[in-house]
Chain A
């Protein structure tokens, strides 16, 4: 039989190795956050990043009109840390591709102090994202509301006639987030043109709020 001392040191060694392994795997879980986007890009697994990268790729023509009609629904939500009310004046709109439409959104600051917010759009189904052109949108800029102030914010858009067949309804969802003072210095979103919903990209400066 092995001497007791060597068994004890063996035990200690194995225990420490295994404890290190467990801690390492805990760290691995967090390392997955950046690795995941990387992995998705390398392997082509669909992630939010890739879905929104498709957006600038598609060219959009707004000249042709068609007799096609589809329903556009508007969904709004406010992140719990933003003391705002935010909703669309219209829940749904019957839309002909190629025509321009305007919808108003109402925002109200329920708190008594000045707050800066930023709206993040997303479109369901995501395949329709490149065909939804916002000509004017409050989501292009950050919004500043004084305590108790309310504002009407317009959205003007055209749905491209190139929208794939089979998509008969799409939902535009806005989430309003609170911007911290440091974020508002740099300005969060500068979409290059009115054609793209670039703000979906997790590579944008909204990442700041995540701490990565």
Chain B
């Protein structure tokens, strides 16, 4: 054996490098996955803090704690932190950890790019936080009071904090495009021999579709905000009606990204459910092929219905009818997924560990959010609901269960695999119940508020809305603080100790798949010899 191969082997078979180099220079999919998840957790708490400040202000009518511009800045920041900071990186973290383990690959296809796509994120987050902080300093300009949709002409007039935000969006976009390219290349080229596309685990399928969606829509958003930047500083008039542009064009560009983004947030969680439910129902996933088909249908139709976010811009009757029918059509494949999950549980030997509790919660509450979505899709009704708290209730019912609870389910499901320690099941269940009850107290009353006419993104409200707002704010405090328990459970599990059981390679009795054949925690390098799939 020559020296070169020796050192080559050493590099591969030694354990993890130590110190900060392990993380900053990491090309290991497990370490990068961990970094993604920790980053997302940090952003979850920042975004949650801004949400709690919003709800504290809305506890009573009138203006008590913060001024209106800061309120709208918080609304903007909450959305961006949660969507781009928490949910997308958390889903990418799960993908990094699990996809190579699931398809029997030694690592991601492009490990150095993987490192880059994570380490862009802290820079992007810094820009995002600066966009919030800069207006507090002298000469910092005005606050971003546009909401996360940053519609012109208002977004053209906001001070320099908008430029920070635009560059933050650029960086976040680059990061997720790089991660998506990496995931697709891995899935298409590095599956274990014998694993055809239709034998691929469901989580990998959902991420394949998600990554394609990201590559298709994120560059369009990047283009849109670039035009915004040009309008702000280089005298162009892409969105300035006085110069021959059209502000509505920005809305189209934004929602061409924004609507598929909803499925980008949702699909990885659907992937997690497709593993959690069969595990705890002890039955294989019902209708694997129809799930794949339904998902492709959702992604395809989801790309062409964006303008249902803008019914009120004055489109022709033909156009709104098309967008309405298309939107309602999406409920068919989504319904199919839900039925598949229910059929998987049907007559299964079910047990209700924390991941399963979250999974069932998702099916119930996500379906509920989906139904209010069908209401919103109907044009004449939407004219009434548009920009009301009903919309806020709707998308939180879709995104909290649909995206965030799915990520919680995934974290509880795979945490024993990652750490080698079984988390405290009792605490996990307590967390689930506080979380779910807090969530419903927060957002259920907002349906009534919206139907009664309370607009969103406004700091003050009519006294007639007080009771439901008080309820909602109390729920929000319960909901928000419950995540401290989540943090405690995660830290406790990572640290291990005598009170926790060790996890076996197969953490769950009913679990199936390649990821359960490696150790718990897995060695630094796994699947260096690819397994053979029959």
Contact = CB atoms under 8 A, between A and B. Distances in A.
B145 to A, nearest CB: 18
B316 A14 contact: no
A29 B189 contact: no
Contacts, number: 126
Nearest to B532: A1
A163 B246 CA distance: 25
Nearest to B322: A43
B245 A177 contact: no
A21 interface: yes
A111 B226 CA distance: 30
A21 B227 CA distance: 20
A21 B215 contact: yes
Interface stretch (B124-132, B230-238, B431-439, B465-473): B230-238
Given A36-B252, A45-B319, A81-B235, A19 B246 contact: no
Interface residues on A, range: 35 or more
A25 B318 contact: no
B244 interface: yes
Contacts of B236: 209-211
A70 interface: no
Q: Which of A33, A37, A79 lies at the interface centre, i.e. has the most chain B CB atoms within 10 A of its CB?
A: A33
A29 B110 contact: no
Nearest to B190: A7
Interface in A6-56: 7, 10-11, 14-15, 18-19, 21-30, 32-33, 36-37, 43-49
Nearest to B180: A18
Contact of B244 (A22, A25, A45, A210): A210
Interface residues on B, range: 35 or more
A196 interface: no
A21 B177 CA distance: 10
Given A21-B216, A25-B216, A202-B244, A30 B316 contact: no
A145 interface: no
A18 B184 contact: yes
A175 interface: yes
A120 interface: yes
19 contacts: A10-B188, A14-B184, A14-B185, A21-B216, A27-B223, A29-B227, A32-B220, A32-B253, A33-B249, A43-B316, A45-B315, A45-B316, A46-B313, A77-B242, A120-B242, A200-B241, A209-B236, A210-B236, A211-B236
